[in-house]
Amino acid sequence: MKEAYDIVVVGAGPAGSNSARYAASAGVSVLMLEKDRDVGYPVRCGEAVSHEGLIQFIEPDSKFIGSTITKFRLVSPDGKSVVPRLDGKGYVLERRIFDYELAKIAAKEGAEVVTKAYAYDLLRNEKGEAVGVRALIKDQETEIRSKVVIAADGVESRVGKWAGIDTTCHIKDMESCAQVTLSGIEVEDDTLDFYFGDNVAPGGYLWVFPKGKDTANVGLGISVEAAKKKSAIKFLEKFVEKKFPNAAVLTRIAGGVPCAKTSATVVKNNVMLVGDAARQVNPTSGAGIISGMIGGMIAGQVAAEAVKMNKLSHLTEYEKRWHKRLGWRHEVFYKIREAVNSFSDDTFNSIAESAQKLPENKRTLGGIFRAALWNRPSMLLEVARVFVS
Ligand SMILES: Cc1cc2nc3c(=O)[nH]c(=O)nc-3n(C[C@H](O)[C@H](O)[C@H](O)COP(=O)(O)OP(=O)(O)OC[C@H]3O[C@@H](n4cnc5c(N)ncnc54)[C@H](O)[C@@H]3O)c2cc1C
């Protein structure tokens, strides 16, 4: 390890590895620090991604794919199930291996990767701008100088705060999640299941994501406000007891997903936020792997350009490019989330009923929504109210 790099990336999740990869491939020097002993572990994720999202960055490979998905099923509170037409396909990953592969690609492009390396503060110049990080590397206090610091340190990000960025996520936008990986169960290995309703996952949804025919990630995200003090774990235990009473529990995790708009500030004092740290998760679905990778790619590219031009004011270009690529869409998805969260169980039930009557070729997500609005015009008002507010 050297004493100085052009760019230091804090965190080796998908967003961090992509930042490091694209910055290094542009020819600048990059160091990526990961606090855990192993890249990719522990996994705190349902691990579902779309094929279209994935192939932007890496070819699907059986070594990091648990299941290939060709269907998804929506289950309403009264138990009606609808299988919308899915034009593309998707995957349930093995993130333990996937994240590791992404870090390997970054290393192949020339980034240095160090694990058991915990960044605990920034180095600052007299103007308060970041000029590197302080880190505990293999238990040794170390100072590493850099021109740019990329904060890819996940949902509990602290690097942004050190740079003076307000990274607070409002409680109403934070989904509280719990997940178990169950084995010894029977699941369709090509289908993602989503369950809705106040008794299952208030203000969110419950998922069953298969990893083969006998194993699945079963988890849920709930709105802390809507759950009325009942924890995500309690909702999950109730579902598992009923649906998979004899399952073996291989892993248990809990964590937050920021279903918010992207942070208002993602660049300050030579620090760039990416991935969950920047709230780049899709607010409707809670999916953040691919969008974090897109954020990481743009940040890595812009940081490398800024270093090569010797013009750090260029870093703000990242904000513009992110907004143009995905940020504006996430603002629309945020409104959709607000609308869906305001649906009662009755609304979900009537959407499912309308959807079941649709001919198969019209049973797309858009088709289902249109049919629901047609059958229940009052819902249009509920949705419109959210969009104009
Ligand atoms: C229960 C659950 C289910 C989910 N399911 C899905 C899903 O099915 N599909 C999907 O697309 N998304 C899902 N998500 C969201 C997805 O996991 C995240 O959006 C994604 O991991 C974000 O990537 P990231 O690189 O920003 O952060 P992370 O993957 O969290 O990586 C951050 C890394 O930074 C490291 N780090 C943190 N602080 C420091 C420090 N100070 N120094 C050094 N290293 C540090 C951490 O150890 C970690 O490795 C889910 C999330 C949860 C909680």
Is pLDDT of 216 > 60? yes
Ligand 1 centre to CA of 349 (Å) is: 33
Write down the domain spans for the chain.
Answer: 4-45+96-169+260-333, 68-89+171-258, 342-388
pLDDT tens digit sequence for 278-288: 999 999 999 99
Strands 271-273 and 140-151: parallel
pLDDT of residue 384: 67
pLDDT at 93 over 90: yes
For residue 387, give the DSSP letter.
H
pLDDT confidence tier of residue 382, bands split at 50, 70 and 90 = low
The pLDDT of residue 389 is above 60: no
Mean pLDDT confidence for 22-40: 97
In 3D space, the residue among 172, 109, 135 whose CA is nearest the CA of residue 35 turns out to be 135
The mean pLDDT of the chain is 93
Q: How would DSSP label each residue in 152-196?
A: ---TT--HHHHTT------GGGEEEEEEEEEES----TTEEEEE-
Tokens of 336: 């959709």
pLDDT surpassing 70 at residue 206:
yes
* DSSP letter assigned to residue 273: E
Query: Between 138 and 196, where is the model more confident?
Result: 196
Q: State the residue for tokens 């279903």.
A: 259
pLDDT in tens, 317-330: 999 999 999 999 99
Instruction: Say if residue 385's pLDDT is above 80.
Output: no
Q: How far apart are CA 348 and CA 331, in angstroms?
A: 23
| Ligand 1 pocket: which of 174, 257, 290 to mutate (most atoms within 8 A of CB) | 257
What pLDDT does 355 receive? 87
CA of 126 relative to ligand 1 center, distance in Å? 33
Tell me the C-alpha distance between 141 and 34, whole Å: 15
Predicted local distance difference test score (pLDDT) of residue 6 = 98
In a mutational test of the pocket of ligand 1, which residue from 153, 220, 330 has the highest number of ligand atoms less than 8 Å from its CB? 153
At 343 the pLDDT is: 85
- How confident is the model at residue 362, as a pLDDT? 83
CB 141 within 8 A of CB 134: yes
Per the document, the length of the chain is 389
**Mean pLDDT in residue range 50-65:** 97
pLDDT-wise least confident of 52-56, 136-140, 271-275, 341-345: 341-345
Residue nearest to atom 11 of ligand 1 (CA): 287
Q: Which residue has the higher pLDDT, 371 or 342?
A: 342
User: Which residues have CB under 6 Å of ligand 1?
Assistant: 10-16, 33-36, 44-49, 118-119, 152-154, 177, 179, 219, 255, 257, 275-277, 281, 286-289, 292
CATH fold group of domain 4-45+96-169+260-333 = FAD/NAD(P)-binding domain (3.50.50)
Strand, coil or helix: 13? coil
Residue 387 has pLDDT above 80, yes or no: no
Spacing of C-alpha 296 from chain mean position:
12
Give the pLDDT of residue 52. 96
Shared fold status for 4-45+96-169+260-333 and 68-89+171-258: no
Name which of 64, 76, 47 is nearest 192 in CA terms.
47
pLDDT bracket for residue 304 (50, 70, 90): very high
Q: Identify the architecture of domain 68-89+171-258 in CATH.
A: 2-Layer Sandwich (3.30)
Give me the pLDDT at residue 269, please: 98
* Nearest ligand 1 atom, CA 280: 19
Q: Residue 323 Cα, ligand 1 centroid: separation in angstroms?
A: 21
**pLDDT for residue 340:** 85
Average pLDDT over residues 231-245: 96
For 125-175, write each residue's pLDDT tens digit.
999 999 999 999 988 999 999 999 999 999 999 999 999 999 999 888 999
